[in-house]
Structure 1
Amino acid sequence: MKLNSEAREIYRGIKEEIKKRVQLKESLNYLEEFSLTNDKEEILRRQRYLQEGFSKIRDDLKPVLSKIKPIRFRKEYLHDRLLVVSEEEFERAKSLDICDVSLKPEEGYEIILSTNSYGIEVELSIGEIAPELYILPLWENRETLKALATIGKLTNSPSVAEEILTELKKLEPVMKRKELLENLDEIIRREEERLNSKIEERLKEFSLTLSGKELLEFLRELKDGNYGAIFSHFSQVENEILGEIRKSEERLSELLNLDVEVFSRENLYPVEVSPETVEFLRAELEREIKVETYLTSREILKRIKHIIPKLKEELQRAYELEFLRAVKEFTKGFVFPEIASGGIAFINGRHLFIENPQPISYVVGSIANFEGTNGERIVILTGANSGGKTSLLETITQIAILAHMGFPVPAKKAWVEPLDELFFFRRKRSSYGAGAFETALKAFARSLTRDGKKLILIDEFEAITEPGAAVKIIGELLKIAYEKGFYVVIVSHLGEDLKRELPFARVDGIEAKGLDENLNLIVDRQPKFGKLGKSTPELIVEKLAKKKRGKEKEIFERIWRAFKA
């Protein structure tokens, strides 16, 4: 179905409302599959798809679906890997485009994979050469896997995510070591502080306290060159400090799962680890972690590689469920329209973008029987200003567009005929003069040129030209539309004049009933079929007569009395 610019603006607004409710951007791809169509069978297929999909959506799915993130298997997980192969394997290895390939080991690579490195036999496959390309993204997206497992339970669909999570537990020890590597500077600093604190405590405990007699004896021994007594005290403290150093290194060795000797034995206080030693330790730890990551990833991948395609399907299903959830949320309280021939009609239709709108029932054409109608395809909508005439045109447009997308519509019941084109001509409040009139006239004429199923909605054409001319122009335009079998609803204050010109047209009216206690117009926005609606200037004069003071009040009261005469 083709739309003019104003109708397309409403179409965009509908899609934006759905997009606001979609939590996962990947789910938006499904919205593109619901572009406008006038194929009846396609509309019915979409309706069946949505009905079935809505039945699977539960309220507790929303927070779970929000945790889904894309799982991308990327080459960025490999930075410095070299595959060492024979000459006959070289071209095939290069074609895999996974990592650098060479006939011999080269400098600058932390890990070199070949049939001789680390005792690993490497097949020329991604799974053998770079299993981390699969396993690390899965590890980083464990929350997504947990969410997929939960979604499987909530929708009674078996999930492979549980099995993958079980296998990924084998990677936990390696990942813990990786965390230690990332925090190595902090770990060493804390151990330095702890060790120096221990040494300080021991030095405070050590003291040399001598009585007068002991002092004389001590000085005599020093004079005789006997230093053994004092050195024995220091030697004892030194041994205790060395013991604390060994305990610290044992603690680090156990924590890092690596033989560690980092503290100097020469300068016992304060102890510190040199930057060079830390970097050496980091390099050793990093090398071991890379090897462990590779070996463990390869082991895990062998067990789960066959179910990764199924995991990708589950991710797509999650995106689809999120789309369905968002559409169901947007269309809560809506109904799927009946797709038939004869125009458009609805019972208790509601405007999408007005808060707490008054439900309206309306029909254009013979698609449904409403009292006061006779299958008219040309309708003139008249009535009070601010009575909801423009809003009704918008509601008709919204229902027509949603129906042609295959979505439910905001109504208690609805009937829609598939259309080739929909034109909505909104009143341009700021456009006056010959230029605006000419532009509008050409646009209306274009809407009548092509044949086919067509709905044309026009909002107060006479606002941009003279009333007398407007009757003639609108009359001829509506005659052409009638002759071509189009459906038209035109908002106009010239209903009485147009009715005389167009006996085939139905004139509906929205009427103001009076004033409320705050002197606001009371309007029943439900049009009266086949009845001319008055704009009730008398009520506006009455309102001004009651609100104004002094001389102005006298003037409006006089005008009001004239209405009653």
Structure 2
Amino acid sequence: MELEAIPGVGAKTAAALRELDDPVATVESGDVAAIARAPGVNEARAARIARGAIRRRHGDDGRVLATDRAREVYREAIDLLRERTVTDYAAKRLETFYPSASASRIEEAQSFVASAIEREPDPAVREALSGVEPLTDPPTVRVRDRCLATADAETLARAESAVPELSVETVEEARDVSELARSYATVIVLDEEFAGLDVEGDVHVRPNALDEPAETVPERLLAFFAANRERLEAAATIHEAANLSPAADLDRLRDALARLDDDGTVVGDAELDRLTAAVDDLDAAVSTAESVADDRLREAIRERDVTIEGTDFLSLVEQGARVDSLLDRELADEYDEAIERAREHLADALRLEPEEAELADRVFGGDPSFPVERDESAVSRLRTELSAARDRRAARLKAELASDLGDLREPVEELVRDALELDVELAIARFERDFDCAMPEVVGPDGGDEAGTAEAAGFRIEGGRSPLLDVDFGDAEPIDYAVSGATLLSGVNSGGKTSTLDLVALVVVLAQMGMPVPAESATVERFEEVHYYAKSQGTLDAGAFEATLRDFGDLVEGADGRLVLVDELESITEPGASAKIIAGILEALDEQDATAVFVSHLAREIRDAADFEVAVDGIEAAGLVDGELRVNRSPRKGHLARSTPELIVEKLAGDRDTDFYGDLLEKF
């Protein structure tokens, strides 16, 4: 698949997507988090790319939502779903669901949703979900104790690109490698012609090093796991709480993470801890060892009966007098003992191994002096050896841990992805439960489903309740309504005509998204387009009126298989003209076998003006009780509902003993 062939993906975006390991598979997977790891692609953009890829896969080039109000209903539906997510990922992922006219896409979405609504929204799982996010790629870690070396210019360029964490040095002969070994704890030579090289230092000839990044630069993998520790731990907890089958061995993952510090270093190794502490504490330990030797000499001087009184001797020393000959002559044994104590203290304080202690012995010695003086070159040599040992130990441990984590790299991607997808599923499950939803049957435009079962085209809703009303969902009255063909919906003011249109639009939009609908049951034709026109705010001027007529002219000349919902179109101009215009629109829609519901107070006039038998449904009011309408919210088929004025006149005719109201009632 060409990335540029995806709707909404241009050359710049395609170039960014190609930075992914497998851009085509990633985009086609619909994994919003994985797509968002492309440079410059955020999750909102990733959701649009995934949606475009879905459209292309199903050959779904149409746009079902044809008007602003139809698109508003879709946004309201998405918002209801998004409100039930925990993670930002799930909120964006839900936007890959859209109203489709493609049977295969609807079937695909329904399959996902059918599995999702079987989930049990466990509060413990939701709590764990708050800690999971898409995995992130940490910044490049610069490693300074190791380098790559090559004599080949092409290899050098490839190494600098493949392993930006390490310095890449140019070498021509063994002497160059030897010099590098004095500057770096480890040198990795990439050229096979250096095989058998025998130089001092930690030098490895590995021509395939660039193909084995986990071994060459384990810091990269460790930095990834360190940066994503909390996400991985949360994902593991989610799998356990939800009884999911994890893609990775959770015990093994947790054991590996326990050996990794937040900065990507290895923890829990006593030898590495010892060497690290020895390097860090070296200067302080040497100073303390000097003090130990000096204290022992002071004590010996005060206690010994020497040719010069002890107090005077100390005074001479403090004045800078030469003391080496005096110490050698008078306190040779005591000086040796003081030096030995200093060496022992240094070895004990740093917990040095025997071969390291031999280097430490050279820190103190030489000509006798007071105060005791360290040999700075010996200190430097000891520091170098301890640092090199520490770095070699750390590198080996990193390589071992990276090896343990290496084959977990892909499974943890799936582990986190499954946890995030669970949030998507749980949001749908909560939506289904919160609004007493059912999975609708979506049938073909000819009224048949994909198995060939005949059903009336249009829509049928039983026990539908709208979550878009300004009342608690539990207080919403259920509605039964079915329409096939062009229909007028009449009814009293505030009887629920507009909310009925909203419910129809919501059920159709959700059904063609593949989602459950807020009804006891529903059957919906797979409409090519949904045109929903909200009530106009007042009479239009001539220019706006002409523009509106152009819109309806385009509408009736469009393709078949449309749902048209119109709320009180008569408000755009004079009632007499409106009735004729609506009648003409209904005639055109009837000829095209479109499904249409026009809410109007001019149903009688429209029916009289139309040249075909217009179906009229009515939301019937039972009457006025204490000044309030009592309404049966489900439209009554084939019934012209009485208006509010008629009901009021009828009530007055019954309450007043006068002919006026009776005569007035007869005029309705």
For normalisation by structure 1, the TM-score amounts to: 0.71
Please name the residue that 2:136 is paired with.
72
In the alignment, structure 1 residue 399 sits paired with structure 2 residue 545: no
Q: 1:155 aligns with which of 237, 243, 246?
A: 243
| In 2: Cα distance, 1:486 partner to 1:416 partner | 13
Residue 148 to residue 135, structure 1, CA distance change in 2 (3 Å): same
Deviation per residue, 1:91-131 (Å, 9 max, x gap): 37526522231125779x98764367646666513112211
Residue 289 to residue 353, structure 1, CA distance change in 2 (3 Å): farther
Residue 531 to residue 298, structure 1, CA distance change in 2 (3 Å): same
CA contact (8 A) 2:538 2:572 kept: no
CA contact (8 A) 1:510 1:526 kept: yes
Cα deviation, residue 70, structure 1: 2.6
Cα deviation, residue 287, structure 1: 8.5
Residue 344 to residue 110, structure 1, CA distance change in 2 (3 Å): farther
Residue 467 to residue 159, structure 1, CA distance change in 2 (3 Å): same
In the alignment, structure 1 residue 49 sits paired with structure 2 residue 112: yes
Cα deviation, residue 489, structure 1: 0.3
In the alignment, structure 1 residue 91 sits paired with structure 2 residue 156: yes
Q: How does 1:354-373 map to 2 (within 5 A)?
A: 354=469, 355-356=472-473, 357-365=476-484
| In 2: Cα distance, 1:521 partner to 1:293 partner | 81
User: SS at the partner of 1:2?
Assistant: coil
CA contact (8 A) 1:73 1:133 kept: no
| In 2: Cα distance, 1:253 partner to 1:384 partner | 93
Residue 84 to residue 492, structure 1, CA distance change in 2 (3 Å): same
User: SS at the partner of 1:437?
Assistant: helix
Greater alpha carbon shift after TM alignment, 430-439 vs 384-393: 430-439
Residue 176 to residue 310, structure 1, CA distance change in 2 (3 Å): closer
User: SS at the partner of 1:302?
Assistant: helix
Q: 1:509 aligns with which of 601, 604, 618?
A: 618
Cα deviation, residue 393, structure 1: 0.8
Q: How does 1:24-173 map to 2 (within 5 A)?
A: 24-28=87-91, 30-59=93-122, 60-78=124-142, 80=144, 82-87=147-152, 90-91=155-156, 93-94=158-159, 96-99=161-164, 100-103=167-170, 113-114=187-188, 118=202, 124=209, 125-153=212-240, 154-162=242-250, 163-171=252-260
| In 2: Cα distance, 1:89 partner to 1:451 partner | 60
Cα deviation, residue 434, structure 1: 2.0
Q: 1:349 aligns with which of 448, 457, 464?
A: 464
In the alignment, structure 1 residue 441 sits paired with structure 2 residue 506: no
User: SS at the partner of 2:408?
Assistant: helix
| In 2: Cα distance, 1:360 partner to 1:253 partner | 82
Q: How does 1:216-235 map to 2 (within 5 A)?
A: none
Cα deviation, residue 313, structure 1: 2.1
Greater alpha carbon shift after TM alignment, 492-501 vs 48-57: 48-57
User: SS at the partner of 1:171?
Assistant: coil
In the alignment, structure 1 residue 3 sits paired with structure 2 residue 65: yes
Instruction: Specify the code of the residue in structure 2 equivalent to 1:452.
Output: D
| In 2: Cα distance, 1:337 partner to 1:13 partner | 19
Residue 161 to residue 70, structure 1, CA distance change in 2 (3 Å): farther
Cα deviation, residue 399, structure 1: 0.8
The percent identity for this pair of structures is: 28
Return 5+ residue gaps in structure 2 as ranges: 1-62, 172-178, 190-198, 289-308, 316-340, 361-369, 372-382, 448-456
User: SS at the partner of 1:363?
Assistant: strand
| In 1: Cα distance, 2:508 partner to 2:500 partner | 12
Please name the residue that 1:300 is paired with.
401
CA contact (8 A) 1:381 1:495 kept: yes
Q: How does 1:421-432 map to 2 (within 5 A)?
A: 421-429=529-537, 432=540
| In 2: Cα distance, 1:337 partner to 1:522 partner | 30
Cα deviation, residue 133, structure 1: 1.1
User: SS at the partner of 1:525?
Assistant: coil
Instruction: Specify the code of the residue in structure 2 equivalent to 1:67.
Output: G
Deviation per residue, 1:452-494 (Å, 9 max, x gap): 2111111101111111111111111111111111111000001
Instruction: Specify the code of the residue in structure 2 equivalent to 1:339.
Output: V
Please name the residue that 1:208 is paired with.
none
| In 1: Cα distance, 2:390 partner to 2:135 partner | 23
CA contact (8 A) 1:383 1:510 kept: yes
In the alignment, structure 1 residue 527 sits paired with structure 2 residue 635: yes
Please name the residue that 1:453 is paired with.
561
Q: How does 1:271-282 map to 2 (within 5 A)?
A: none
In the alignment, structure 1 residue 330 sits paired with structure 2 residue 439: no
Residue 494 to residue 129, structure 1, CA distance change in 2 (3 Å): same
Cα deviation, residue 288, structure 1: 7.9
Q: 2:81 aligns with which of 18, 33, 37?
A: 18
Instruction: Specify the code of the residue in structure 1 equivalent to 2:140.
Output: E
Please name the residue that 2:442 is paired with.
339
CA contact (8 A) 1:161 1:311 kept: no
Residue 94 to residue 501, structure 1, CA distance change in 2 (3 Å): same
Q: How does 1:167-206 map to 2 (within 5 A)?
A: 167-171=256-260, 174-175=266-267
CA contact (8 A) 1:84 1:112 kept: no
User: SS at the partner of 1:71?
Assistant: coil
Cα deviation, residue 523, structure 1: 3.2
| In 2: Cα distance, 1:78 partner to 1:300 partner | 19
Residue 283 to residue 485, structure 1, CA distance change in 2 (3 Å): farther
Instruction: Specify the code of the residue in structure 2 equivalent to 1:454.
Output: R
Structure with bigger RCO (C-alpha 8 Å, 6+ apart): 1
| In 1: Cα distance, 2:403 partner to 2:596 partner | 66
| In 2: Cα distance, 1:118 partner to 1:440 partner | 81
Cα deviation, residue 426, structure 1: 0.6
Deviation per residue, 1:294-334 (Å, 9 max, x gap): 43221112223223222222222222222112222223221
Cα deviation, residue 435, structure 1: 2.7
Cα deviation, residue 247, structure 1: 9.8
| In 1: Cα distance, 2:502 partner to 2:109 partner | 24
Greater alpha carbon shift after TM alignment, 301-310 vs 400-409: 301-310
Greater alpha carbon shift after TM alignment, 96-105 vs 349-358: 96-105
Instruction: Specify the code of the residue in structure 2 equivalent to 1:114.
Output: I
Deviation per residue, 1:142-192 (Å, 9 max, x gap): 332223333333334144152222233333584589xx9xxx9xx99xx9x
User: SS at the partner of 2:638?
Assistant: coil
Instruction: Specify the code of the residue in structure 1 equivalent to 2:619.
Output: I
For normalisation by structure 2, the TM-score amounts to: 0.61
Return 5+ residue gaps in structure 1 as ranges: 196-224, 232-242, 261-265, 268-281, 366-376, 546-556
| In 2: Cα distance, 1:386 partner to 1:289 partner | 81
User: SS at the partner of 1:329?
Assistant: helix
| In 1: Cα distance, 2:184 partner to 2:500 partner | 71
Residue 226 to residue 508, structure 1, CA distance change in 2 (3 Å): closer
Residue 475 to residue 431, structure 1, CA distance change in 2 (3 Å): closer
| In 2: Cα distance, 1:339 partner to 1:419 partner | 9
CA contact (8 A) 2:260 2:266 kept: yes
Residue 38 to residue 393, structure 1, CA distance change in 2 (3 Å): same
Q: How does 1:370-381 map to 2 (within 5 A)?
A: 377-381=485-489
| In 2: Cα distance, 1:432 partner to 1:167 partner | 70
| In 2: Cα distance, 1:531 partner to 1:128 partner | 79
| In 2: Cα distance, 1:343 partner to 1:325 partner | 31
| In 2: Cα distance, 1:415 partner to 1:160 partner | 42
CA contact (8 A) 1:380 1:492 kept: yes
| In 1: Cα distance, 2:267 partner to 2:560 partner | 66
In the alignment, structure 1 residue 473 sits paired with structure 2 residue 535: no
CA RMSD of aligned residues (A): 4.8
